[in-house]
Structure 1
Amino acid sequence: MSLSTALADLSAGQGALFRTLVTLGLLVGGHILVKIFAVIVRKTWMQRGEDLTKKAIQKRYDAVKNITYILDAVVIAAALLYLNTGLTTTLTEKLTSGLPDILSVLLIGILGILLVNFVTKFASGFLNRLGTRNYLREIGLSQNATRLLSLIVKGFLYLVVFQVVLEQLGIGNTFLDKAITASAYAAVFLVAGLAFWGFKDLARNMAAGLYLKNSRLVRPGEKVYLEEESGEIRDVDLFSTEVETDGGYRLLTQNSKIMDADLKFKDTQSDIETLEDVKRHFTAQDPSYCGPASAEMALSIFGYRYGQETIGEMCDTEVGVGTMPDDLIESIETLTDGEVKAAYVEYDKITDLADEFKIWFNDGALIIPNFAKPVLFPQADTAHYSLCVGVEGEDLLIVDPSTSTVSGGVYYADSSEMLEAMGEFEGRSRGYLVLAPEDTTAYWRINKGLIYADKSFYDEISKNMELQLRRILRQGRILKNVLPEDLQSYLDKWKKEEKVGRVWKPESKRKEGEEDGTTDSGE
């Protein structure tokens, strides 16, 4: 062997040895730096704050531990990168050529173990935040059972890491490899079986939650009778439903139990089924009493008996002047002792009139539009109140208390024309009143101040209230018509005259000599 060949062999051996030593140096030095970092963080962050609870300290400790796992993984990855990128010049020395491969296998194994620990800890924390641990306790799984399930999952992941290491060593196609593969499949089937058995109630509960969250019955504000309890629905979550009982308690029950129970809901508009029912509640207004007359009809449908005279006196309604919306709201809530809530939505806060009306009706409310009558009836010259009892497509079903020859009775009005009629007239714009009886979602909305469809109209709205508003609007968008079933099948669309489709008109009770429209005055 020549001198040059000997020098080349020596150089090659020294290069491999040097690379190995540098790699070990990176590992040791990096691990020491990570430990120093962890100690500093514990001293400065975990001890800061005298009011920290034991739970908060444990969370910080877990966070620091996860960070050290990540940093150790970065150090190992850097060492692997150096080891396998050819930064040294030769790979020819036979005596030391196998050492980097062995070191690579060890590093891959360590990295895999770190990743398994990090992933399982992260998944466990995530499931705990979802409340899975509490739910597992509720369905009867002890802490030891859940711990065993966790160990089985972690053991399966360790088997996967072990198999990767064997592949790296080049002995993957062996009996041991097949045995590990078989055990991995067995572990998968075991975990799947345990998961199916342990989580079958959880899956059933989640499916029930998805159904209830999209149901038109189980909604916040609705009065519900559940077995021996009765109360108001406060919230519907993915796993549970919260009910505030009449006894002042908060009842939190699983959604699957809600689905299995016989629920009773309060029906607030059962009287309106046919056109005859609408006519039965019809009230012919006194002069300038269109507001109180509309309120009388709405309250009558809700089961209250207050005449327009009583309502008008409380509102200080004057002939030729009419009624202000705030006075009408105050009188309604006072007469019903707050059992009927009312709110006023101004013209400039309306987003989509037909959709908003559908949502309110679907939530159990009735609506009193306040509009300029000449837009719908060119012969009229006043502002006016009427009662809206339903929506069909883009048409509003109006019960007009007027007894003049110009309007009055029951008719369809196009929502876009009604919106135009709510615009500026005689120096100011108008809008609509919402009336909602107790134990309905509409009542709850008014009570919470969620009366607008666009969140930008609120000065301040919490994330929870914004989420509730989105749910309400999402349910309303799928509605095409909101009319009692029998009434909807009974009514047909008449040819429109004077921009309305008249369904029924009462006999005129105008006094001799009165002009058309003078009895309809209202503000």
Structure 2
Amino acid sequence: MQFGIDWPEVVRSVFSPEGAFVLSIAVLVVGALFGYLVWRSLRQFMRELGVPETVEGTPFERTAQSLGTSTVGIVSNLAALFVYITAITVALNIAQLVDPEAYWTRFTAFLPDLFIAAFALIIGLIAGDKAKLVVSERLRSVKLPEATVLPELVKYSIVYLAVLIALGQLGIDTLALLILLAAYAFGLVFLVGLALRDLLSASAAGVYVLLTEPYSIGDEIVIGDRQGIVQEVDMFVTHVESDGREHVIPNQKVFRDGVIRIRD
């Protein structure tokens, strides 16, 4: 027993072929108007949420602007495109220009997943770029080459997760996704262990310096071959000024070489 409504059959029973064609034209017009309203409303909604300010300066936004659009424009255009394609498909089915059974079933099953997949990729790219900027800002005072790797790892981790979500929406085998995720996690742990070895050492030494406080701001100290007045101490480095020069000394050097505090 089948309880679903066969809409093409209903249209055929209610309208003549000429009437079905006119109805399909009306669906196209309504779809165009509704798509425009969705496009306009979504743009206004994202502006009120502060999305343009949030994504400003990210590589994705710069790329979009170089193409003559913006992140807000891309998202709103995708939403409007979804409405337009849906309206065209409904109109084609009403006009009986395509196989209503097979095509409508495949379309309704695939198009929402395609839209969500595209949306997930856009959100992943934006979030990855934003997270990279935030992490870079947090590590700005760290004068270690390895510290520049961490923002990139954060960015591509988020992008990779977005790609996995998009592939899942498109029906890619779950087992393949799990294998990819396991391989990525293994590679990420391996790279983090290699790239951030000195950074982790610096943070551990920074904890030691902050807890024991062998010197404080304003003290004159000697660390290795550097002598000067302490200007700033954080988790990773110590800033020492001498003769108009500021020396940024990793805290693991303090932990390894020790420190001499000069008393007047």
- The alignment's TM-score, normalised by the length of structure 2, stands at 0.62
* 2:248 match: 252
Q: In the alignment, residue 26 of structure 1 is paired with which amino acid?
A: G
Deviates more, 1:110-119 or 1:98-107: 98-107
Cα offsets for 1:107-146 (capped at 9, x unmatched): 112111111211111122222223469755x2498x8x98
In the superposition, relative to structure 1, how do residues 197 and 234 fare at CA in structure 2: closer, same or farther (>3 Å)? same
The aligned runs of 1:319-334 (5 Å cut-off) are none
CA shift at 1:212, angstroms? Answer: 2.5
Task: Give 1:10-29 correspondences, 5 Å limit.
Answer: 18=27, 22=31, 26=35
Check conservation: 1:244, 1:251, Cα contact below 8 A: yes
Q: 1:98 to 1:188 in 2, by over 3 A?
A: same
Q: Distance in 2 between matches of 1:164 and 1:139?
A: 35
Query: How big is each residue's C-alpha offset from its partner over 1:195-229, in whole Å with a ceiling of 9 and x where there is no partner?
Result: 22212322232233344234433210122221233
Do residues 7 (structure 1) and 13 (structure 2) align? yes
2:109 maps to 1:101: yes
Residue 72 (structure 1) shift: 2.9
Q: 1:191 aligns with which of 174, 188, 191?
A: 188
1:233 corresponds to which residue? 230
Post-superposition CA distance 1:406-461 (Å, at most 9, x none):
xxxxxxxxxxxxxxxxxxxxxxxxxxxxxxxx6xxxxxxxxxxxxxxxxxxxxxxx
- Could you list the per-position Cα deviations for residues 56-110 of structure 1 after superposition, in whole angstroms to 9, with x for gaps in the alignment? xx949875648922443355457769999xxx9xx99635344233221221121
Matches within 5 A, 1:449-488: none
Q: What displacement does 1:4 show?
A: 6.9
Distance in 1 between residues matched to 2:11 and 2:58, nearest whole Å: 59
Whether the 8 Å CA contact 1:20–1:83 is kept in 2: the answer is: no
Counterpart code for 2:138: L
1:107–1:20 CA distance, 2 compared to 1 (3 A): farther
CA pair 210-18 structure 1, distance change in 2 beyond 3 A = farther
Between the aligned partners of 2:165 and 2:226, the Cα distance in structure 1 is 52
Q: Is the 8 A contact 2:132 2:152 kept in 1?
A: no
Give the Cα separation in 2 of the matches to 1:127 and 1:231. 30
Alignment of 1:287-436 (within 5 A): none
* Matching of residue 129 in structure 1 with residue 131 in structure 2: no
Question: Is the CA contact (8 Å cut-off) linking 2:135 and 2:151 kept in structure 1?
Answer: no
CA distance in 2, matches of 1:110, 1:237: 42
* 1:149-190 Cα shifts (integer Å, max 9, x gaps): 965763453123211332xxxxx6xxx321122111211221
Aligned mates of 1:122, 1:183 — CA distance in 2: 24
Whole-angstrom distance in 2 between the partners of 1:232 and 1:118: 42
Task: Please tell me the residue identity of whatever aligns with 2:13.
Answer: L
2:216 matched residue in structure 1: 219
SS at match of 2:218: coil
Q: What is the percent sequence identity of the aligned residues?
A: 15
Instruction: Tell me if the contact between 1:223 and 1:231 (Cα under 8 Å) persists in the aligned partners.
Output: yes
Report the equivalent of 1:73: 75
Find the aligned partners of 2:223 and 2:213 in 1 and give their Cα distance. 17
What is the rounded CA distance, in whole Å, between the counterparts of 1:28 and 1:133 in structure 2?
A: 47
Runs of 5+ unmatched residues, structure 1 = 35-57, 167-171, 268-437, 439-523
Q: Whole-Å Cα distance in 2 between the matches of residues 9 and 133 of structure 1? A: 72
Question: Which structure has the larger Rg?
Answer: 1
Q: Give the TM-score normalised by structure 1.
A: 0.35
Structure 2 counterpart of 1:239, one-letter code = F
Within the alignment, does 1:200 sit opposite 2:209 as a pair?
no
- 1:182 aligned to 172, 179, 184, which one? 179
Partners of 1:196 and 1:21 in 2: how far apart?
57
Amino acid in the other structure paired with 1:229: R
SS at match of 1:94: helix
2:4 maps to none
Of Structure 1 and Structure 2, which has the larger fraction of its residues in strand? 1
**Equivalent residue of 1:232, what SS?**
strand
- If each structure's helix is expressed as a fraction of its own residues, which one has the higher value? 2
1:38-77 equivalence runs, <5 A: 59=57, 65=64, 68-74=70-76, 76=78
Structure 1 residue 260, shift from structure 2 partner: 1.6
Conserved? CA contact 1:23–1:83, under 8 Å = no
CA distance in 2, matches of 1:24, 1:180: 39
How far did residue 255 of structure 1 move?
1.6
What is the alpha-carbon distance in structure 2 between the residues aligned to residue 181 and residue 223 of structure 1? 55
Distance change >3 Å, CA 83–CA 203, structure 1 → 2 = farther
CA RMSD after TM alignment: 4.8
Q: How many residues align?
A: 224
Cα 1:61–1:165 change in 2 (3 A) is closer
Instruction: Give the whole-Å Cα distance in 2 for the aligned partners of 1:4 and 1:242.
Output: 79
Aligned residues of 1:234 and 1:243 also touching (Cα < 8 A): yes
